[in-house]
Amino acid sequence: MKRFLASAILLAIAGCAGPQVREGAITPAPGEKVLDLRAGSYFFDPARLSLPAGESVVVRVSTESGIAPHSFVLAGPDGKIIARRELNKGGETFLRVPPLPAGTYTFSCDKSFLGKTHRERGMRGELIVTAPGTPGK
C-alpha cells in the first residue's frame, strides 16, 4: 500500500511538470521580449496581447492585492492548456511562453467565486500570435 502510494505521488508530480514551460524563478533574458499584463478582480488588462509566431516571450503579470487568489492559464486555439501559474497577490508573476505557431490563444483565470468562474466574471483575454510578415494588432 505504501509503495502504491509513493508511485501514485510520483506520477502526480510528473504529471504536473509541463514539458514546455519551466517552473521556478523566471527572469527575462537580455533582449527577451516582455509582455506586461495587469490582473485583478475580475479583469486582465490589456485583454488582448499580440506576439510574433516562433518567438519566446516572458509575460509579467502584476496582480492587485486582494482577498481573491488568481491564476493565469494560457490555452491554445484547440483549448489545450499550454501554461498555468498561480499569481502572486500584490506582486509580479513571471511566466515564460514557448515559441508558438500563429493563431488565437486565450488566457484566463480558472479560480471561481460563488459558483462562477473568474473567467465568466471577465478574467479572460486573447493572445494573438501573428505569422511572420503579418501586421500585428
Phi/psi-derived region of residue 4, left when phi > 0, alpha when psi is between -120 and 50, beta in every other case: alpha
CB of 38 to Cu ion, least distance (A): 12
Name the pairing type of β-strands 103-108 and 71-75. antiparallel
Site for Cu ion in 73-112 (CB under 5 A): 109, 111
Cell of 95: 511566466
* 70 vs 96 by CB, closer to Cu ion: 70
φ and ψ at 3, to 5 degrees? -65, -40
* # residues near Cu ion by CB under 5 A: 5
Which of 40, 51, 59, 70 is in the footprint of Cu ion by CB under 5 A?
Answer: 70
Residues that bind Cu ion (CB under 5 A): 70, 109, 111, 118, 123
